[in-house]
Amino acid sequence: MEKAKVYFSDLRTSPTSNLLDKMERLLKRAGIGQLPLKDSFTAIKIHFGEPGNLAYIRPNYAARMANLLRSFGAKPFLTDCNTLYSGRRSNAVDHLQSAMENGFNPISAQCQVIIADGLKGTDYREIPIDGEYCPAPKIGTAIADADIIISMNHFKGHEQAGFGGALKNLGMGCASVGGKLELHASSQPKIATENCIGCNICVKHCAHDAIHLNAERKAEIDYTKCVGCGQCVALCQHDAAVVSDWDTSERLNYKIAEYSVAVLKDKPHFHISFIMNVSPECDCWTIMMPPSFPTSACWHRQTP
């Protein structure tokens, strides 16, 4: 496989050239216009940031990207998938509200914002890749159905992956809630009975008839039927269906790579990494730690 050509720029500006103009020139130089953009549904995968964390990529960059893609005839939209943990981005309603609070909305971003795996993280496509760890990654439907993938990555530290950039943004970020369970967990989910209220939603939606309510109206999992798909974790709003055992960092990185392969399979793609506000931990935290080192910026092109 031929190595991709990497284009780099720092963040220095002049009175006649701001950062948005500089980014657009660099994107054009890197060949974004060579993608088959006309009439293509183009997913701009970006992390909207957990409210309280200010390290995420500013929506101004996303808006300029959307306008540039539209000038080539594309139909761009901003997208991300719901989170496995219970926070402000674990369902589409709260996720969209969080995105709006951080400046990502159709007015400021100048394109639609779509949560790729649906209301509760259960809307996904299985993409067969014959991976060693993940044979058929569960990718959010809006991303799986997109014609072209554009990833806008905030490069930063990550407590499990080491660093997070393009692979983390794609491999973890494009996974549905059940996919994130597959990435993180080394075993099937479990029920925290103290949190279970007996609402029955996990029983109704288990595709494998692996969950029932016991005499105390607490959910129980039949592990002879459970396939570890994670839909109960995605659906439970009370932190009763939870991850059992977290996987090792090394295996997690292998899985992230396999999920990235699934996201990009048979699709033209283009990647932009922003090396700025390089916080030591993920943008999923509600706080922002001081940057680990001075800022710069890098744009990276990769197409099939």
Task: Between 109 and 282, name the one with better pLDDT.
Answer: 109
Task: Give tens-digit pLDDT for 178-196.
Answer: 898 888 777 678 999 999 9
Other beta carbons within 10 angstroms of residue 109's beta carbon come to 27
Task: Give me the DSSP letters along 191-260.
Answer: E-TTT-----HHHHH-TT--EEE-TTS-EEE-TTT-----HHHHH-SSS-EE--SBPPHHHHHHHHHHHH
The least confident of 87-91, 133-137, 300-304 is: 300-304
* Inter-CA distances, 128 with 42, 150, 201, 260, Å: 22, 21, 28, 12
| 178 residue type, one letter | G
Phi, psi of 299 (to 5 degrees): -115, 135
β-bridge partners, 191: 241
| Alpha-carbon gap, residue 195 to 183, rounded angstroms | 24
| 147 residue type, one letter | D
* Inter-CA distances, 295 with 19, 60, 131, Å: 13, 18, 36
Q: Which residue segments constitute the domains of the chain, with CATH numbers given?
A: 6-185+246-300 (3.40.50.11440), 190-242 (3.30.70.20)
Phi, psi of 6 (to 5 degrees): -105, 130
| Region 4-12 average pLDDT | 85
- What is the pLDDT of the chain when averaged over all its residues? 88
Task: Between 17 and 85, name the one with better pLDDT.
Answer: 17
Question: What is the three-class DSSP state of 265?
Answer: coil
Task: Between 143 and 226, name the one with better pLDDT.
Answer: 143
- pTM comes to 0.81
Q: Is the pLDDT of residue 74 over 90?
A: yes
Closest CA to 175 of 252, 102, 76: 252
Task: Give tens-digit pLDDT for 75-106.
Answer: 999 999 998 876 789 899 999 999 999 999 99
Per-residue pLDDT at 143? 98
Other beta carbons within 10 angstroms of residue 215's beta carbon come to 5
| Alpha-carbon gap, residue 277 to 124, rounded angstroms | 32
Task: Between 297 and 271, name the one with better pLDDT.
Answer: 271
| Alpha-carbon gap, residue 38 to 281, rounded angstroms | 38
Contact between 141 and 116 under an 8 Å Cβ cutoff? The reply is: yes
Q: Which helix (H) or strand (E) holds 150?
A: strand 148-154
- Please name the residue ranges forming H helices in the chain: 19-30, 59-71, 92-101, 141-144, 166-167, 177-184, 201-205, 231-235, 249-264
Q: Which of 69-83, 225-239, 240-254, 265-279 has the highest mean pLDDT?
A: 69-83
Per-residue pLDDT at 272? 93
Q: Is the pLDDT of residue 229 over 80?
A: no
